[in-house]
A and B are shown apart, each in its own frame.
Chain A
Amino acid sequence: MAAFGARAAGSLPGRNASPGFRFTLCALICVGLMIVDQRGGWLDQVRYVLQAVAYPLQLVVNSPTTAWRILQDNFESREALQRANAILRNENRRLALRSFRQDALELENAQLRGLQRALPSLIDRWIAAEVISIELNSLRQRVLINRGTQNGVFRGQAVLDERGLVGQTTRVGPWSAEIILVTDPEHAVPVQIERNGLRTIAVGAGDALALPYLPANADVKQGDVLITSGLGGVFPQGYPVAKVVKVQRDAIQPLAQVLAQPLAQLERDREIMLVWFKDTHPAAPAPAVGEPKGGAQSLQSQPAQSKEVPEITRLGVPKAGPEPPIINPAATRPAAGSDDNTPPPKNRTPEIE
């Protein structure tokens, strides 16, 4: 083995080992790697290191884009900057006006819930991260960001932009992390329709989201806004996800075909936000069973978490029809009803497994 290794990597034309033998060895290495990587998280530390090694190269690949951006930023005209500034100031005023009543509303909400004082805010802290322009895989909707465990990022963390939900982190390296976007075919997010509280699951469909589990007679129409339902253990309740753009009801199909466009600007985002939520808040994501959730996860705790945080991927999408909990009329509570004092279920719900 050692001799082979020396020859494979070394500087002499090793003609002694037959190519067939060398290929078999390579194949065995790869198959072994795959099995170890797929099972147990033994390779997580190796991957962590590899992600760190790949990061400089990824930065190099990204450098033309970065250079272009810096050039653009530097040579932006005074008028353009002033225009942008005016827009931002307007936006700021709009947001301020919207949030003036926030405190009063929160207090009122607390009184309705029979609490003594308003709940603390849901968001514990957040950091901005920059998207690194790296093509991970054109058929998978993933992006790389420039924050990792060094910034306290953990696996299965919610990612937002200023318009809505972006996705969640999957692989976290020391300085970089991979985000799976809500539009990835392997991603599913439990949502509810804002208008009537109807709960369902939004599955990624490439450049949009599909709602594959809504019965044909479900109350959904074009223009409905989907918000997170708080189930699933990753996203808290009430964050905007997508807007329904197409509803197709076929007489012969038991299910409605619904497509929704994500509200977050997934294609154009340069900066996104990584958010930590307060576990104690009623709208916080239901924690995975027996798993503490929090920031600053050490590297060692990643493997365990990777199994527990429901990577809400492929919830039996192809074979399963409408799942009972979803078409259950009890789930179609009006929006007001969903705001009562029952916190989101703390257990993992059947449709998330």
Chain B
Amino acid sequence: MSALAEYEREPRGRMIFTALVGLTLQALTLPYWLAVIRPQFLVLVVLFWSVNAPRAGGLTLGLVAGLALDVFQGSVLGQHGLALALITYVAVREHQRIRSKPLLQQSLLVAVALALYEFVAFAIDGWTGHPITNPLRWVHVLTGAIIWPLVPLVLARR
């Protein structure tokens, strides 16, 4: 019964709300350079919940958020869905190990996850014939990792 108890403690409403906020932040128009260095907020939010509330969110959240990104960004349906589901899966699988690490090490792992995410998206971009070879597309991996220590501060329940 402890699993159920833990499940019920996990904040679903908060999760959906923060995911929507993440999506909003990602869709806000910014000047070009700010937009380039903007971290992928929704991806960070999904990563946070997969690590800290793996049962309530997890794959379903990753998949739905990814598909929402696809619809918003007008990419091939399933592109961000697949990329986000992949890193969500890894994060859920390893959530206990990731959770126990200090924030700086977590940042490194997040950078790896974001790089994986961007790589999948990049590969699918190429396969579907819309390649963006601009190296700036990788910038958000760095900024996302840098901003990661702040994410738990904002999202964690106090």
Interface positions of A (Cβ within 8 A of B): 8-9, 13, 15, 19-20, 22-23, 26-27, 29-34, 37-38, 43, 46-47, 50-51, 53-54, 57-58, 60-61, 65, 133-140, 142, 170-171, 178, 185-186, 206-207, 313-314
Contacts and interface: CB of A to CB of B under 8 A. Distances in A.
8 contacts: A19-B59, A22-B59, A26-B89, A34-B78, A47-B77, A51-B71, A136-B73, A139-B132
A33 B81 contact: yes
Contacts of A38: 76, 128
Q: Is chain A's binding surface mostly helix, strand, loop or mixed?
A: helix
A341 B81 CA distance: 53
Given A19-B92, A133-B29, A140-B132, A27 B77 contact: no
A19 B92 CA distance: 9
B137 to A, nearest CB: 6
Given A33-B81, A37-B77, 16 more contacts: A19-B89, A23-B59, A23-B85, A23-B89, A26-B63, A27-B85, A34-B78, A34-B124, A47-B71, A54-B71, A65-B29, A133-B29, A135-B35, A139-B36, A186-B130, A207-B32
Contacts of A135: 26-30, 35
Contacts of B75: 137
B89 A138 contact: no
A31 B7 CA distance: 30
Contacts of A13: 3-4, 7, 55
Contacts of A51: 71
A26 B132 CA distance: 25
B92 A138 contact: no
A257 B24 CA distance: 39
Report which residue of B29, B36, B86 has the largest number of chain A beta carbons within 10 angstroms of its beta carbon: B29
A60 B28 CA distance: 10
Contact of A138 (B35, B76, B129): B35
Range of interface residues on B (Cβ < 8 Å): 35 or more
Nearest to A178: B74
A53 B29 CA distance: 20
Interface of B: 3-4, 7, 20, 23-24, 26-30, 32, 35-36, 38, 55, 58-60, 62-63, 66, 68, 71-79, 81-82, 85-86, 89, 92-93, 124, 128-130, 132, 134, 136-137
B36 to A, nearest CB: 6
Given A34-B124, A61-B27, A137-B74, A26 B85 contact: yes
Given A19-B93, A23-B59, A134 B128 contact: no
A38 B79 CA distance: 11
A30 B7 contact: no
Contacts of A133: 28-29
Nearest to B90: A23
A7 to B, nearest CB: 10
Nearest to B66: A30
Contacts of B85: 23, 26-27, 30
A206 B4 CA distance: 51
A268 B29 CA distance: 12
Given A9-B60, A133-B29, A185 B132 contact: yes
A141 B62 CA distance: 26
B36 A138 contact: yes
B119 to A, nearest CB: 15
Contact of A15 (B3, B66, B136): B3
